[in-house]
Chains A and B, each alone.
Chain A
Amino acid sequence: MKTAVLVFPGSNCDRDLAVAIRDVSGTAPIMVWHGDTALPDGVDLVAVPGGFSYGDYLRSGAIAARSPIMRAVVEAAGRGVPVLGVCNGFQVLTEAGLLPGALMRNSGLNFVCRDVSLTVENTGSAFTGGYRTSEVINVPVAHHDGNYFADPATLDRLEGDGRVAFRYAEAVNGSARGIAGLLNDAGNVLGMMPHPERRIGPAHGGSDGRRLFEGLLAAVGA
């Protein structure tokens, strides 16, 4: 699986994501700087990491979403290349218009950093094939702006189209309809606040996140 992991100034989960993907796929990802204008040829996956790109200036993910590499990512997503955004990566994908809605300050105002339970809502995507429908998994979150917002009509459409991939199984951040992970219309873009790369083996206290990457590897078939 040939993967590009994007790196912005202020990314801090880029290495975690690269290690997780290397561990699962056996191939080290290519780290791609935000100022580049093209992705490596023939990438099977683009991963947008967590962190605080550009210090969260203006809005979380806002500046990163307008960086040169994101034009190439939007184009790749349009061709059907899987794009995964974790935490700040999810914020970047909404700001770039690849996913609807926005991620706002947590309703409780606190930075939330702990393990949370998620319900797997959609197992039909390249990202979620390693899970069973309605299964409850345990993955850490660490964010200040994870409170998903979209207008009620958009939320109804997202639910109706099965685009909610993961839902919080407990109160976490005030997210609309408990949305923790969201797919685009074609199902090849996933944004999620929880960190699957931080739950890939016994040393992490479990492997529930690993199965996302295993599912991707199986779906990509490379």
Chain B
Amino acid sequence: MKLRIFVTLKPGVLDPQGKAIHHALGSLGFEGVEDVRAGKLIEMEVADSTDDTAIDGMCRQLLANTVIENYRVERA
């Protein structure tokens, strides 16, 4: 089974990288970009028997820092 795990900063947490990207897009002349937030995509191949509890455990214990980040899991 393929997993795609999206790790994103929580709303309200300052994202300096997103701000820098936003600024660079403006410098390139792209108008109308109102906000940019940068996150991570982690792709994994796991055994089909891997259950939700294990996947949630991986996200909470390592893949995301839940002090500052949210995560979302997509199964393919």
Q: Which residues of A contact B (CB under 8 A)?
A: 58-59, 62, 66, 94-95, 100-102, 104-109, 147, 149-150, 174
Task: Give the distance in Å from the alpha carbon of A62 to the alpha carbon of B40 in the complex.
Answer: 15
Given contacts A58-B62, A58-B63, contact A102 B68 (CB under 8 A): yes
Q: Which residues of the partner chain A approach B61 to less than 8 Å between Cβ atoms?
A: 66
Q: Are A107 and B65 in contact (CB under 8 A)?
A: no
B47 within 8 A of A: no
Q: List 20 A-B contacts (CB under 8 A).
A: A58-B62, A58-B63, A59-B65, A62-B62, A62-B65, A94-B67, A95-B65, A100-B67, A101-B67, A102-B65, A102-B67, A102-B68, A104-B68, A105-B16, A108-B16, A149-B13, A149-B67, A149-B68, A174-B14, A174-B16
Q: Which residues of the partner chain A approach B67 to less than 8 Å between Cβ atoms?
A: 94, 100-102, 149-150
Q: Is the interface of B mostly helix, strand, loop or mixed?
A: helix
Given contacts A102-B67, A102-B68, A149-B67, contact A107 B14 (CB under 8 A): yes
* CB within 8 Å: A-B pair count: 37
With both beta carbons as reference points, the residue of chain A lying nearest to B62 in the complex is identified as A66
Q: Which residues of B contact A (CB under 8 A)?
A: 13-14, 16-17, 19-20, 61-63, 65, 67-68
A59-B65, A66-B62, A107-B14 given; name 6 further pairs at CB < 8 Å. A102-B65, A104-B14, A104-B16, A109-B20, A149-B68, A150-B67
Q: Which residues of the partner chain A approach B63 to less than 8 Å between Cβ atoms?
A: 58
Task: Give the distance in Å from the alpha carbon of A107 to the alpha carbon of B15 in the complex.
Answer: 8
Q: Which residues of the partner chain A approach B14 to less than 8 Å between Cβ atoms?
A: 104, 107, 147, 149, 174
Q: Which residues of the partner chain A approach B17 to less than 8 Å between Cβ atoms?
A: 105, 109
Q: How far is the CB of B20 from chain A (nearest CB, A)?
A: 6
